Amino acid sequence: LVILDEVGRGTATYDGISIAWAATEYLHNEVRARTLFATHYHELTTLADHLPRVANVHVAVDERDGEVTFLRTVRDGPTNRSYGVHVADLAGVPDPVVSRADEVLDRLREEKAIEARGSRSGGSGDGAGPGDGDTGGTQQVVFDLSSGSFSEGADADGRSAADASTSEAGRNGATAGSTSPGSDATARAAGDSVETTEAAAADRLDPETRAVIEELSDVDVASTPPVELLSRVQEWQERLD
């Protein structure tokens, strides 16, 4: 019998998940011992979908009016959330700390995203400097740890990238519809100008940035394990810093 408790929690998130994930696979594939692994890494619950002898269980919780009661009953399947802040409250952590922890947790859940390097064309976001009136804000690419997939995130105004793109297309369409004859030539000229600008911007990228972009475009997100994706993203960020 092997009992593991919170393996990987004493280091950075990516490192911790990777260690816990690899340890689970090793115990399952090599040691093959009966194992009880207590963890708060929800990402690890997906291993039950890939390893035939892994099963998830969780301790039942009763939530009423914001209060949490741990029922000390084990049920099948993974839980859908953690209760670390509630445990801190039960342990006697001061109320201001618990309240602030709740606020920070909500913020982190809303911003579960990896920010792309650079931003949309536009100003600084505070109304000052070049590009006033443009659509500013850092583009986010959301990495869902549970599914191991990427999706478009939100810009600084809280709109999704798809919404922002649709809105921009709508504005451009309305403008084009109200132009006078001969606007097609103007549009073609503008398009050529944009392509030239994009090509010039690409030429200005340093070799390392270009290499990272090429590696990113070659990644098959659907078939790559989540932990490997996390590791690759961390590596790219370190190379671009």
Determine whether 80 is exposed, middle or buried from the number of CB atoms within 10 Å of its CB (0-12, 13-18, 19+).
exposed
What counts of helices (H) and strands (E) characterise the chain?
Answer: 7, 7
User: By C-alpha distance, which of 238, 48, 221 is closest to 145?
Assistant: 221
CA distance 216 to 143: 13
Chain segment 82-127, per-residue pLDDT in tens: 788 888 888 999 999 999 888 888 877 776 543 333 333 343 334 3
pLDDT for the residue 141: 43
Per residue in 20-49, pLDDT (tens digit) is: 999 999 999 999 999 999 988 877 888 898
Statement: residue 81 has pLDDT above 60: yes
Query: Which residues make beta-bridge pairs with 36?
Result: 3
Highest mean pLDDT: which of 13-17, 20-24, 146-150, 213-217? 20-24
pLDDT for 56 beyond 90: yes
Lowest mean pLDDT among 53-57, 124-128, 220-224: 124-128
Which one has a higher pLDDT value, 103 or 183?
A: 103
Sign of torsion over alpha carbons 48, 110, 116, 12: negative
Residue 197 has pLDDT above 70, yes or no: no
Determine if residue 131 is left, alpha or beta; phi over 0 gives left, psi from -120 to 50 gives alpha, anything else beta: left
**C-alpha separations of 116 from 25, 154, 159, 200, 204 in Å:** 31, 12, 16, 20, 18
Task: Give residue 184's pLDDT.
Answer: 57
How far is Cα 161 from Cα 151, in angstroms, rounded to an integer?
10
Contact 230, 17 (CB under 8 A): yes
Residues 6+ apart with CB under 8 A from 72: 59, 60
Is the model's pLDDT at 131 over the cut of 60? no
For residues 225 and 51, the model is more confident at 51
Coil/strand/helix, residue 152: strand
Determine the average pLDDT of the residues in 130-134: 41
Confidence of residue 215 (pLDDT cuts 50, 70, 90): confident
**Residue 52 scores a pLDDT above 60:** yes
What's the pLDDT band for 140 if we cut at 50, 70, 90?
A: very low
Question: What confidence score (pLDDT) does residue 211 get?
Answer: 83
Per domain, the residue ranges of the chain are: 2-83, 114-204
3-state SS class at 59 = strand
CB contact set of 180 (below 8 Å; sequence gap of 6+)? none
Please check whether residue 4 is in contact with residue 38, taking contact to mean a CB–CB distance below 8 angstroms: yes
Distance (Å, whole) CA 144 – CA 133: 32
- Kindly report the CATH number that applies to the domain delimited by 2-83: 3.40.50.300
Q: Residue 172: is its pLDDT beyond 70?
A: no
Q: What is the mean pLDDT of residues 178-190?
A: 52
Rounded Cα distance between 231 and 63, Å, is 35
Short-list 209, 204, 207, 202, CA closest to 240: 209
Separation of alpha carbons 147 and 112, rounded Å:
13
Tell me the average pLDDT of the chain. 70
What phi and psi values does residue 184 have, to the nearest 5 degrees? Answer: -60, -40
